[in-house]
A and B are shown apart, each in its own frame.
Chain A
């Protein structure tokens, strides 16, 4: 693999799709320096302006107005986030990773400010030690609303949050027992979201303050002790390493060296990108719809206008994961209808783009360069070679099998 291909692969995985110029710069800087640069924490962006939504009120009209305002705020937040993604860098890709991991949907949370607050938690803690991240997430208002922590009380604990925290977010199934789910739910009792302030607080009369036996430890008390137990559990780092490998590396289990990097997310990511096995994973991951579309917008130098209908048709709308299990990965995204959607969306995108340079005898090479595809297979060359219209050529390139994976 040439240096350029290796660096392209690195950038395709750590960011939302590099432009050709970005690849040029990274080749000059070198692979390792590029890894370091991309994984350096960046300051959280200024949040979008979200007006305070009107209180629901009593009349039907007031409630309808509140719902409408709430939906408009979600649109503002979604567009702001898509714009951040198009701006590039590795930080938003990592924020998107954590969003899919702690999959929380605004459909139930019904608050753009709380979804934003969760996102800011990912930006603040998502690159570092998972300890502070898990501590923050166990108090996260959106997550608590999403998994019924709001209703989890001493009298009758609600297990939803405790179970999914262990199964899907920190340990993986098999690392805990049903007794741990019940004990974890008791520890989390009484942590409630005040909808008016958007803050989480512990309501003592709803809280079960008796110590519990949890994950093999006696006398566990308090949400931070629970969070710390989770991240110190031997299943935790391998679990997170597996999730990162699945989205950034390739199918299957991660190379053994990855988990050895420990509990810091950027160290784990660095281990993914510097594993000897990483280079061979090029082209083995199916792009998620958000990755496909944001990459296309970046390659075509377009703002994310009209992105939502395309993402809806492809089945991945940010802030709306289908369930707490997050979005699927791999070939589940490759269906007849998604192929058709990429053909249609490719045409719409190409119609808005600058198509200079995509003419002439070497137009297929120019297209590969524009889309940072390593090269076209013979079948795709055959499909593209009859197309002289640069707009149509660009549209087909965006829909091609080579561009569907990374």
Chain B
């Protein structure tokens, strides 16, 4: 694995030519699948927090004296924290999730990680997205699920401008549904798009992909032009591959909700929120960012109740136990995950990692992230986790 892994991964992951080329679809094309699904089939919404969210200041083990000792300037006043019991509390930026927790609808899985933690954003995100901690390959875990589910790109979609690696399978890939208006400029005809999109023998993969984009464009142009989201979308959203360029989370979740309410065929949605890499002055910035997660997610959870939707929230790693002098935290390891939605039993699950028995200054994980993926694959997507997770047999049980 080298530093270019992530870039290579993106190239191999369906944004390029080949069997697993990413499809770009219009919302209307997704909505047209309404009614195609088994009414009992459930839906997974995966929220990626890019940048490494500080887990210890998300679910705060305030009663542990080691916490205050490690982070003297980082602690919140007792009255600010949102108590969860067991000496733990949620960050004050998460009142909506705290309410859901009180109602028994939010499950918090503590100490989720993987062996031999990698502290590079790019590589750790690859590990989380491939679910292959030993040697991240070129397929994402939900892409491999898509392979086993028949490969229709409409089953797994993202509202980000670039396909996230986790949706790239080996023989298929999820679809991106960028917001915005794809009306053709005046004078450009569908016939011209048809010609420009034709593959030519002997051309490079790059040029073939450039041509294929015209075919995609021809296919979606009139679908998107009249899609119901044209009025509120930002057509200038840059097409970068960092995960930070997605539309705001509330917009992404709103699109998911519309699709779910319409009963479309899609089973998996990938949405994201970036900006969590807070090496300095992290406390207030994290609270602000968490609030950007909290409000849309709480609203989404209420709107989706009864629709068979399960939402999972993760980040590529937590932060060091000890704050740095910049009032920030450096890259760490294990971190909590949130699960919420129909059929999820709320409460605190998994074991809180010790703050004193550390691995080189970092928490030791207590739940393997693949155990959580296995739960989602089996219970939400009704598939065989071992097939998707390279034979992994662990599975989280949400005992209340």
B148 proximal to A (CB < 8 A): no
B residues 1-30 near A (Cβ < 8 Å) are 1-7, 10-11, 15-17, 24
A405 at the B interface (CB under 8 A) = yes
Selected from B178, B198, B326, the residue in CB contact (under 8 A) with A148 is B326
Complex alpha-carbon distance, A242 and B203, angstroms: 24
Instruction: Determine the chain B residues whose CB is within 8 A of the CB of A61 once the complex forms.
Output: none
Query: What is the CA–CA distance of A131 and B162 in the complex, to the nearest angstrom?
Result: 36
Q: Are A155 and B200 in contact (CB under 8 A)?
A: no
- The answer to whether A330 touches B195 (Cβ under 8 A) is no
A334 touches B15 (CB 8 A): yes
B6→A336 contact, CB < 8 A: no
Q: Kindly state the separation between the CA atoms of A337 and B326 in the bound complex, as whole angstroms.
A: 40
User: Closest chain A residue to B361 by CB distance?
Assistant: A182
Q: Is A383's CB under 8 angstroms from B196's CB?
A: yes
Contact of B205 among A181, A246, A284, A340 (CB under 8 A): A284
A325 interfacial by beta-carbon distance below 8 Å: yes
Residues of B within 8 A of A335 (CB): 15, 24, 161-162, 176, 178, 213, 239
Is A315 within 8 A of B16, CB to CB?
no
Question: Within 8 Å CB of A382, what residues of B?
Answer: 195, 198
Is A163 positioned at the interface, with any CB of B under 8 Å from its CB?
yes
Quote the shortest CB–CB distance from B119 to chain A (angstroms): 6
The B194-238 residues at the A interface (CB cut-off 8 A) are: 195-200, 203-214, 216-217, 220, 235-236, 238
Given contacts A159-B330, A337-B182, contact A401 B11 (CB under 8 A): no
Map CB proximity to A onto B165-199 as digits: 1 under 8 Å, 0 otherwise: 00000000000101010101111100110011111
Confirm or deny: B360 has a beta carbon within 8 angstroms of a beta carbon on chain A. yes
Are B279 and A332 neighbours in the complex by a CB distance under 8 Å? no
A34 interface contact, C-beta 8 A: no
Q: Is the CB of B204 within 8 A of A168?
A: no
Q: Is the CB of A331 within 8 A of B11?
A: yes
Give the chain A neighbours of B323 by CB distance below 8 A. 156
Indicate whether B325 reaches chain A with its CB closer than 8 angstroms: yes
Establish whether residues B182 and A340, one from each chain, have CB atoms under 8 Å apart when the complex forms.
Answer: yes
CA distance A396 to B119 in the complex (A): 46
Query: Which of the segments B241-249, B342-350, B383-391, B392-400 contacts the partner chain?
Result: B241-249
Chain B residues, CB < 8 A from A147: 279
Q: Is B238 in contact with A314, judged by CB distance below 8 angstroms? A: yes
Q: Spell out A's residues near B (CB within 8 Å).
A: 147-148, 150-153, 155-160, 163, 167-168, 172-174, 178, 181, 239, 242, 246, 251, 283-286, 309, 312-317, 322-323, 325, 327-340, 343-344, 347, 377-380, 382-383, 386-387, 392, 396, 399-402, 404-405
Interface residues of chain B, those whose CB is within 8 Å of chain A, are 1-7, 10-11, 15-17, 24, 119-123, 161-162, 176, 178, 180, 182, 184-188, 191-192, 195-200, 203-214, 216-217, 220, 235-236, 238-242, 244-245, 279-281, 322-328, 330-331, 360
Using A323-B244, A328-B240, A337-B182 as known contacts, list a sample of 14 further A-B pairs with CB atoms less than 8 Å apart, ordered by residue number in A.
A156-B325, A158-B280, A163-B119, A172-B2, A172-B3, A246-B4, A251-B205, A283-B204, A317-B238, A331-B15, A331-B206, A339-B214, A401-B214, A404-B206
